[in-house]
Structure 1
Amino acid sequence: MRTSALFENKPVFSFEVFPPRPNVPIESIYNTLDDLKDLTPDFISVTYGAGGSQPGASTAEICRRIQSEHNIPSIAHLPCINETKESVLQKLDDFRQKGIENILALRGDKNPELPPQNDFKYASDIIDFIAQNGDFDIAAACYPEGHPESPDLETDIAHLKEKVDAGASHLISQLFYNDRDFYNFREKLVQKGINVPVEAGIMPVTSKKSIERMVSLCGASIPKRLAKLMARYSSDPASLKAAGLEYAIMQILDLLENGADGIHIYTMNNPDVARYIMEQIKDEIDRP
């Protein structure tokens, strides 16, 4: 199923998972998926390596199994910075053979140890290439506070318009911790003529170290309320995780109340986090 069609019955609820590291058994991701399936997400996206690391070879297979074994639509991440046109064509063919029709097309993280290829400089380049070389539903990433490499939010939104014009049918946002930033961003998109669905990306704070790392990578800010929570429970990991989950739930409920097209939960392969959140918001959504 093309995931853009899911937004006809919004809000959409989806999860992100990632392939296990080389030293982690592949079965771990399938155990995670087994634990997520009864939460009935509208789709599950699968990353293609994180933080500029070598991409995992199992993304397409994980997507295939999500669809074939759990009957849940999947989205395969496809960063382009280290790809050539030939390698992308090979991956698109692999996706077709595995029944994958949804792609999250990205530039990807720069890796100083891995020189980038020159075929695709920006995400809009690979979006256009995919649109010309297959009948895929293409999603794109967006940054409510602006991409960390962009000089300002307006410039970043101009580049986002290029992604949509190239063929992106819906957007998944990077994590953010102030819903007002998302609402401001959404208003600016409409002003620029970007009218595709925008799903809000939520990464619950479950550890101080991991969130600080992610924030440094994506350029998101930590509002005072969340900073105080992190400082208060800096030496109490269990309490920090509990407070972080409640903060995420507060964010999600506010987003739903204000008409968000969807909620995309970055699970970090922790099904217990996704389960707790979905259980706490179930009275606000039409879900089992």
Structure 2
Amino acid sequence: MKLCKLFDEKKVVFSFEIFPPKKTSSIETVYNTLDALKGLHPDYISVTYGAGGAGSGKTCEIATLIKGKYHIEPLAHLTCINATREQILAELEAFKKSGIENILALRGDRNPEIPACYDFAYAGELVEFIAQHGDYNIVGACYPEGHPECNSLEEDITHLKDKVDKGVSHLNSQLFFDNNDFYRFLELTQKAGIFVPIQAGIMPVTNSRQIERMVSLTGAKLPSKFSKIMARYGDNPEALRDAGIAYATEQIVDLIASGVRGIHLYTMNLPYVAQRISTNISSILQTSNQ
């Protein structure tokens, strides 16, 4: 099933992101995560791609598992930063053979361990290439506060419009902690002529190192309310986890009430956190989709 149909059928789409196990771990380590997530009935589950393309084979393998064993539609991430056209064609062929119809097209993060390749400079070029080489539903990423490498949010949205015009059916946002930043972003995208559905990416913060790393990677700002939570509970792992779940839940409730088309939860392969949040918002999702 192509994910674009979900947005025709539902007012609010709810999905999860998981990542493949590390190189030293068996793929079976992800089974427990998927066993728990299946019972939460997500509309789809996305599977990340290794940094710079490392470990990419597991993405297709896990996406195939999600579709075949768990009967949930997968969204396979595909990055192009260090890939040749031939390598991307091989990935697309693997997806096709496995019945994977949905691809999240990303530039990806640079990996110093992999020789640089410049067949694709931007995600928009990958979107265009995928659209020319198969009947896939292509999803794009967006940054509510602007891509860290862009000079301004407005410039970033100009690039985003180009990417959407090349064949993106909907967008998944990078994480953010202030809903007002997301609402401002939605207004700017509509003014720019971007009208595809945009899912809000939410990451429940469960430990201090996690937030430090993600802020460094994405450039997401920390509102004062969130900073107070970190200062108060940062040394108590259980309290910080509960506070992070509560904060993410509050974000999601406000987003759904404001008419956002979807929530994409970055689970960090932590089923307990996903279960808590899903329970918190289950009646809200049900009411919204009636």
Aligned partner of residue 63 in structure 1, secondary structure: helix
Does structure 1 residue 38 correspond to structure 2 residue 39?
Answer: yes
2:17 aligned partner:
16
CA offset at residue 246 of structure 1? 0.1
Deviation digits for residues 74-101 of structure 1 (CA, Å, limit 9, x no counterpart): 0100000011110111110100000000
Shift of 1:71: 1.2
Paired position in structure 2 for 1:110: 110
Q: Which residue identity is paired with 1:19?
A: P
Q: What is the distance in 1 between the residues matched to 2:56 and 2:93?
A: 17
2:53–2:79 contact (8 Å) kept in structure 1: no
Q: What are the Cα deviations for residues 100-141 of structure 1, in whole angstroms up to 9, with x where unaligned?
A: 000000000012332321110000000000000000000000
TM-score by length of 1: 0.97
Letter of the aligned partner of 1:21 in structure 2?
K
Q: What is the distance in 2 between the residues matched to 1:182 and 1:4?
A: 21
2:30 is the alignment partner of 1:29: yes
1:220 paired to 2:225: no
User: Does residue 194 in structure 1 map to residue 189 in structure 2?
Assistant: no
Decide whether the 8 Å contact of 2:139 with 2:172 is kept in 1.
Answer: yes
CA distance in 1, matches of 2:263, 2:75: 15
| Cα distance in structure 1, aligned partners of 2:4 and 2:216 | 30
Pairing of 1:90-239 with structure 2 (within 5 A): 90-239=90-239
In 2, Cα distance between the equivalents of 1:14 and 1:184?
Answer: 23
> Aligned-pair RMSD on alpha carbons?
1.3
Deviation at 1:22, TM superposition (A): 1.4
Mapped partners of 1:233, 1:186: distance in 2: 32
Kept in 1: contact 2:23–2:55 (CA 8 A): no
User: Where does structure 1 differ by over 6 angstroms across 4 or more consecutive aligned residues?
Assistant: none
Number of residues of Structure 1 aligned to a counterpart in Structure 2: 287
CA distance in 2, matches of 1:142, 1:192: 14
Q: State the percentage of identical aligned residues.
A: 54
Give SS of 1:45's match: strand
Determine the C-alpha separation between the residues in 2 that align with 1:207 and 1:57.
29
Q: What residue number does 1:60 align with?
A: 60
Secondary structure of 2:213 counterpart: helix
Superposition TM-score, scaled by structure 2 size: 0.97
Partner Cα separation in structure 1 for residue 281 and residue 15 of structure 2: 14
Distance in 1 (CA, whole Å) between partners of 2:116 and 2:169 is 27
For residues 282 and 77 of structure 2, the distance between their equivalents in structure 1, rounded to whole angstroms, comes to 28
Query: Which residue of the partner structure matches residue 89 of structure 2?
Result: 89
Equivalent residue letter for 1:190: Q
Structure 1: distance between partners of 2:211 and 2:223: 13
Find the aligned partners of 1:7 and 1:160 in 2 and give their Cα distance.
20
Structure 1 residue 23 displacement after superposition: 2.0
Which amino acid letter does the alignment assign opposite residue 91 of structure 1?
E
Structure 1 residue 53: Cα displacement: 7.0
204-213 or 52-61: bigger deviation: 52-61
In the alignment, structure 2 segments of 5+ residues that lack a partner are none
Q: State the alpha-carbon separation in 1 of the partners of residues 99 and 115 from structure 2.
A: 31
Instruction: State the Cα distance separating 1:54 from its structure 2 match.
Output: 2.0
How far apart are 1:24 and its partner, in Å? Answer: 2.1
- What code does the residue aligned with 2:267 have? T
